[in-house]
Each structure stands twice: as C-alpha cells, then as structure tokens.
C-alpha cells in the first residue's frame, strides 16, 4: 500500500522567513496530494492541494510543488506569520476500487517565532 | 451551517465496555471516513464509506466496526475497547468520493481514553 513520509517533524522559523515541509510517497499511482493545517485543539483543514498533472500551485503565501519522477512534494510558506503556527499534514490519495483512500504523513509542527 | 458533527467530544471508558461514537454531516456528502490521530503517526484511516450500505476497511480497521444506514450518519463502534484504542478520532466527509478527489471536511474530533 501507499506510504507517506514527512519531514521535518518539527520546524521553527523566525517571523517573516520562509518554511518548507517535504513529503515523499511510495505508490506511483497516487495522483492527488492535499495539505492540511491543524491548529492546536482544532480539526484538520485543507489549505492547498495539487493533482498529478500539475507541477506547482500557488495561493497567496502558500505554494505546493510536485515532482512525480522523484515521488516527492513540498509545501512552501513565505513571509510566515504567527498564525501560521500549527501542525501541517501532507497526504497522498488515489482511486482504489473507486474509493478515495487518503494516506497521511506523520505531521510537522511549525512554530513561528516573533 | 454546513458541518460535520461528532458525539461525544470526550469519553473515558473501561476495557471491554462497548461504545459508539456518532458522526453526522448535513452536506449530503456520499463519502464518509473515520481516522484516528496518534502522536508521531499522523492520521490513519479506520473505515470509509462510499454511500449508504457501502463500507470498506482503511489501514487500521482491527477492533472497529461501522455502519452506513443513512447518508448523513456514519457511527464508529468499538465492541470491546482496549487501551491501545485510546486516541483522538476524526470523522470526515466529502462530496463525490472516488475520482473526484474532493476536499474532506473533518468533524471536531472525539478524544477517547480506554482504561
């Protein structure tokens, strides 16, 4: 089955700097890669996603890149702000018997230092 | 308001005492899923459902049961809970599961402790 590895497990950056979180996946059939943000005590919420036919996607300060050949994808946050502090999860998904099986990475705790 | 709700939000129980965690969504989503979240392991899928009366195992189904008798409800049943099922549980739903790969909306979570 699919396996998703996420690094680093913790990341601390100064406010205004950039943060990068990386994920690798094992199943070349995976074709959908969402990123979820989970604030302390809250539920995960989708922040950005990318499909396998796209190499990069950007939404304001957040961007995701995908390298299908290397089977890795990354989340980039620029001009970080205190409200970016949270746990971030990457995930990989593919159609399995018509169903949506989402496999998550282990999570990255991002701390933005003022 | 479009939402996914779970009950209870917190539960402390003892080994072997059957329990049910309810999940309900008001968005008419076909797809629903249960995850457990454990430190260092991320979110792991327990069971999912494509539609009424259609359920299938996720990656960690052992010790759990589900049912989907109505489109809006997807309860998680622990017939004989054990301490290793102590975890934070999330229900999620999405519109048109399968190849559409739509966003999954998560419930608020249920923190379960099994003594």
Average pLDDT over residues A43-67: 94
Task: Taking residues B29-41, report their average pLDDT.
Answer: 93
pLDDT of residue A96: 58
pLDDT at B72: 97
Q: pLDDT at residue B77 above 90?
A: yes
Q: Name residues 94-113 of chain B within 8 A of A (Cβ).
A: 94, 97-99, 101, 103-104, 106-109
What pLDDT was estimated at residue A14?
97
User: Is residue A66 very low, low, confident or very high in pLDDT (cuts 50, 70, 90)?
Assistant: very high
**Nearest CB to B108; choose among A43, A95, A106:** A43
pLDDT at position B99: 53
Is A99 at the interface with chain B, CB within 8 A? Answer: yes
Could you say which of A43, A46, A101 has the minimum Cβ distance to residue B103? Answer: A46
Average pLDDT of span A71-82: 97
User: What is the structure's pLDDT at B1?
Assistant: 82
Residue B87: exposure state from Cβ atoms within 10 A (0-12, 13-18, ≥19) = buried
**pLDDT band, residue B3 (cuts 50/70/90):** very high
The mean pLDDT value for A61-89 works out to 97
The DSSP line for chain B is ---EEEE-SEEEE-TT--EEEEEEESS--SEEEEEEEETTTEEEEEEEEEETTEEEE-S--TT-EE--SSTTB--EEESS--GGG-EEEEEEEESS-STT-PPPEE---EEEEE-
Q: Which residue of B has its CA nearest to A105?
A: B42
Residues of A in contact with B40 (CB under 8 A): 9, 106-107
Pick A93 or B77 by higher pLDDT. B77
Which residues in A4-36 are b (16+ Cβ under 10 Å) and which e?
bebeeeebebeeeeebbbbbbbebeebbbbbbb
Q: Residue A91: which pLDDT band, with cuts at 50, 70 and 90?
A: very high
pLDDT at B80: 97
Paired sense of beta strands A45-51 and A56-59, if any: unpaired
Query: What is the band of A99 on the pLDDT scale with cuts at 50, 70, 90?
Result: low
pLDDT of residue B101: 61
- A8 at B interface, C-beta within 8 A: no
């Amino acid at each position: 089955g699919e396996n998703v590895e996420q690094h680093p497990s913790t990341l601390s950056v100064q406010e205004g700097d950039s943060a990068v979180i990386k994920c690798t996946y094992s199943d070349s059939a995976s074709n959908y890669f969402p990123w979820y943000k989970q604030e302390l005590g809250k539920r995960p919420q989708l922040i950005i996603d990318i499909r396998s036919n796209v190499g990069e996607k950007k939404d304001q300060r957040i961007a995701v890149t995908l390298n299908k050949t290397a089977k890795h994808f990354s989340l980039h946050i620029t001009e970080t702000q205190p409200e970016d502090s949270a746990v971030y999860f990457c995930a990989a998904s593919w159609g399995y018997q018509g169903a949506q099986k989402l496999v998550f990475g282990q999570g990255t705790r991002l701390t933005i230092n003022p | 308001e479009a939402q996914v709700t779970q009950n209870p939000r917190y539960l402390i129980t003892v080994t072997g005492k059957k329990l049910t965690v309810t999940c309900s969504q008001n968005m008419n989503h076909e797809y629903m899923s249960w995850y457990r979240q454990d430190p260092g392991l991320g979110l792991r899928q327990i069971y999912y459902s494509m539609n009424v009366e259609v359920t299938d195992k996720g990656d960690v189904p052992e010790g759990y049961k589900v049912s989907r008798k109505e489109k809006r409800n997807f309860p998680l049943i622990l017939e004989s809970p054990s301490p290793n099922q102590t975890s934070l549980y999330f229900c999620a739903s999405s519109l048109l599961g399968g190849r559409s790969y739509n966003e999954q909306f998560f419930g608020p979570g249920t923190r379960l402790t099994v003594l």
